[in-house]
């Protein structure tokens, strides 16, 4: 038991240190609002796409797509969205808050946690976690656009304002093609399929830039955490956090455990369905006329609570001999 506690804590400990460092830098004034926003933009536009490209271009795609998690993750995300869109209106009547709760409820931070957890548990990246990361990045970035548009129309209607013209399919496709994460994924897939050897200097550079992504992203996330105004939204924030970090992974684990999935697949499931809300939801939710402030609070609370829940999920799986 003590050995499992040590191993599990060693996985979560770096996340806690990075977050604490970000909070400290913000509190001491080394990072302010402006610099944090700039650095988060750098992480989203450069570091994460390079990180995804690096994880994909040199992997075994054939082995990845044969993993049982491929259909399971995709179906699971759509089931989660459907569940949230049915249940959230019964808990909250304000469409702006509904949009924030639904978006934050399914939009996972797998991009930030996947490879870090994989390396912490197994000592290396594994195909199961990599393919889950690709699926989550693609599906979440694609479906978030129509979901947010749906709630934006509801918000405008509730205000008595004329609804904006619905986004055309061409505009949606253009938006997807301009998404940095999707660009990183697609370039990685194309390079992998073509099979062109990466020149050593380029490979080293990509690897070094990719290695910066997780620490910097966590530090910037720590600098952005803010629960000062939680009081007004505490009920909704805690409901979404409990769903995202406890209920959803508990349900998602049922079939994989009964089916005897491998340790790698189980860790992939945890990262796919048990990680906190992605920080990008704070920006995109507000841009869609939904409650961006509450989205930011869900990001903050779910991130802080996830340090405990991820630890407990990993420890429980280890104690059960599943990983």
Instruction: Write out 65-79 in H/E/C secondary structure.
Output: HCCCHHHHHHHHHHH
CA 143 to CA 122: how far, in whole Å?
31
Q: Is 277 helix (H, G, I), strand (E, B) or coil?
A: strand
Q: In this structure, are residues 151 and 98 in contact, taking their beta carbons and an 8 Å threshold?
A: yes
Q: What pLDDT is recorded for position 267? A: 92
pTM of the model: 0.86
| Of 44, 35, 2, 24, residue with least CA distance to 280 | 44
CA 323 to CA 315: how far, in whole Å?
9
**pLDDT in single tens digits along all 323 residues of the chain:** 777 788 888 888 888 999 899 989 988 988 887 888 788 888 888 888 898 888 888 777 776 677 778 889 999 999 999 999 999 999 999 999 999 999 999 998 888 888 788 888 888 777 788 888 888 888 888 888 889 888 988 888 877 765 555 555 666 666 667 778 888 888 988 898 888 888 889 999 999 998 888 889 888 888 877 766 667 788 999 999 999 999 999 999 999 999 999 998 999 999 999 999 988 888 788 888 888 888 888 988 999 999 999 999 999 999 988 88
Sequence-separated (6 or more) residues with CB below 8 Å from residue 89: 98
Q: What pLDDT is recorded for position 283? A: 77
Q: What pLDDT is recorded for position 165? A: 54
CA 112 to CA 323: how far, in whole Å?
21
Residue showing tokens 């690897």: 207
Q: What pLDDT is recorded for position 170? A: 65
| Conformational region of residue 247, where left means phi above 0, alpha means psi within -120 to 50, and beta covers everything else | alpha
Q: Quick one: CA torsion of 207, 314, 260, 265, rounded to 10 degrees? A: -20
Q: DSSP string of 214-264?
A: HHHHHHHHHHH---TTGGGGHHHHHHHHHIIIIIHHHHHHHHHHHTT--HH
Which architecture does CATH list for 2-319? Up-down Bundle (1.20)
Q: Is 108 helix (H, G, I), strand (E, B) or coil?
A: strand
Q: What pLDDT is recorded for position 161? A: 63
Q: At residue 108, what are phi and psi to the nearest 5 degrees?
A: -95, 160
| Of 76, 66, 83, residue with least CA distance to 110 | 76
CA 45 to CA 309: how far, in whole Å?
29
Q: Give 83: exposed, middle or buried? Use CB within 10 Å, 0-12, 13-18, 19+.
A: middle
Q: What pLDDT is recorded for position 169? A: 62
Q: DSSP string of 140-171?
A: HHHHHHHHHHHHHHHHHHHTTPPPPPPPPHHH
Q: How far apart are the first and last CA of the chain?
A: 14
Q: In this structure, are residues 113 and 270 in contact, taking their beta carbons and an 8 Å threshold?
A: no
Task: Find the helix or strand (DSSP H, E) in which 295 lies.
Answer: helix 292-319
Q: What pLDDT is recorded for position 4? A: 75
- b/e sequence 52-64, b meaning 16+ C-beta within 10 Å: bbbbbbbbebeeb
Instruction: Name 108's bridge partners.
Output: 277
User: Where do the structural domains in the chain lie, given as residue ranges?
Assistant: 2-319
């Amino acid at each position: 038991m003590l050995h499992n506690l040590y191993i599990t804590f060693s996985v979560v400990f770096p996340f806690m240190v990075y977050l604490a460092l970000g909070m400290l830098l913000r509190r001491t004034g080394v990072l302010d609002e402006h610099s944090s926003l700039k650095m988060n933009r750098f992480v989203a536009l450069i570091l994460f796409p390079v990180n995804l490209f690096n994880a994909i271009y040199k992997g075994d795609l054939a082995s990845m797509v044969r993993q049982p998690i491929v259909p399971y993750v995709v179906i699971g995300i759509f089931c989660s969205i459907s569940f949230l869109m049915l249940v959230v209106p019964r808990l909250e009547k304000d469409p702006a808050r509904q949009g924030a709760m639904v978006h934050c409820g399914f939009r996972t931070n797998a991009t930030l946690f996947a490879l870090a957890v994989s390396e912490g548990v197994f000592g290396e990246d594994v195909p199961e976690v990599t393919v889950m990361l690709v699926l989550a990045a693609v599906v979440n970035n694609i479906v978030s656009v129509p979901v947010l548009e749906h709630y934006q129309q509801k918000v405008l209607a509730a205000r008595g304002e004329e609804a904006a013209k619905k986004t055309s399919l061409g505009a949606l496709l253009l938006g997807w093609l301009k998404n940095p994460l999707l660009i990183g994924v697609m370039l990685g897939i194309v390079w992998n399929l073509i099979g062109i050897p990466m020149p050593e200097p380029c490979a080293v550079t990509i690897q070094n830039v990719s290695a910066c992504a997780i620490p910097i992203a966590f530090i910037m996330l720590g600098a952005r955490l803010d629960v000062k105004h939680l009081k007004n939204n505490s009920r909704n924030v805690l409901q979404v956090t409990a769903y995202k970090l406890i209920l959803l992974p508990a349900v998602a684990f049922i079939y994989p455990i009964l089916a005897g999935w491998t340790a790698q697949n189980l860790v992939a499931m945890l990262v796919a369905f048990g990680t906190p809300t992605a920080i990008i939801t704070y920006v995109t939710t507000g841009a869609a006329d939904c409650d961006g402030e509450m989205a930011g609070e869900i990001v903050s609370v779910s991130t802080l609570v996830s340090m405990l829940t991820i630890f407990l999920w990993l420890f429980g799986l280890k104690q059960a001999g599943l990983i």
